[in-house]
Amino acid sequence: MILRLPPLAPGLRVGLYGGSFNPAHAGHRHVSRLALRRLALDRVWWLVSPGNPLKDRSDLPGAASRAAAARAVAADPRIAVTDFEASLGIGHAGPRYTIDTLRWLTMRHPEARFVWIMGADSLASFHRWRGWREIAARMPFAVIDRPGYTLRAVASPAARALAASRIDESAAITLADRPPPAWVFLHGPRNSLSSTALRAAKTRP
């Protein structure tokens, strides 16, 4: 099986931003550009997932169609959109988890400097993710503040458990070079758009 990944060179600083992207929107681009600037990343990959195991996937469009739509929204040469996770799921029984993808990437590309990117809403529920402690031990991660989640995120079980590994926001530019576990919470201009709200607005009469 040949997986088509975005270009990757030794030492490249790559932010991994996973999600359903159903649909992708300007908020995803805002988070990515913030991460590119504050973390001194070379690229951000949008990992369009086959589906979130914690959410209902019955009405989820195919990964290929969501990825195609996401490319139009990204509109930045530093942002690459890939749905390679769907190919990783071939022959895989049951849902695919983030930890599976990160294991695959870090084992095959140890020369890259990956950083996992998530919103503050994801940190609030991070303790429910399969292998969340291993995710934190496998690569540094950055949390981008989101409206309504600032306090819930930093008070969450995962944030408390990983408190000793949190670095000061002023040192965010060094995150990609740090051995895990290491993470940073990035504040700044926040975007209130969400895929859930966009889908709900689309279905209203």
Q: Is the pTM of this model over 0.95?
A: no
How do the domains of the chain map onto residue ranges? 13-203
Q: pLDDT (tens digit, 9 = 90+) per residue, 83-113?
A: 988 877 644 545 578 999 999 999 999 999 9
**CA-to-CA distance for 116 and 136, rounded, in angstroms?**
9
Question: Is 152's pLDDT higher than 80?
Answer: yes
Nearest to 21 by CA among 198, 182, 204, 180: 198
Per CATH, domain 13-203 is 3.40.50.620:
yes
pLDDT of residue 4: 75
User: How long is the chain?
Assistant: 205
Q: In this predicted model, what pLDDT tens digit does every residue of 29-63 receive, in sequence order?
A: 999 999 999 999 999 999 998 876 666 565 788 88
Closest CA to 41 of 126, 145, 152, 144: 144
Distances from the Cα of 78 to the Cα of 45, 169, 178, angstroms = 9, 23, 22
**pLDDT(196) > 60:** no
Residue 166 has pLDDT above 90, yes or no: yes
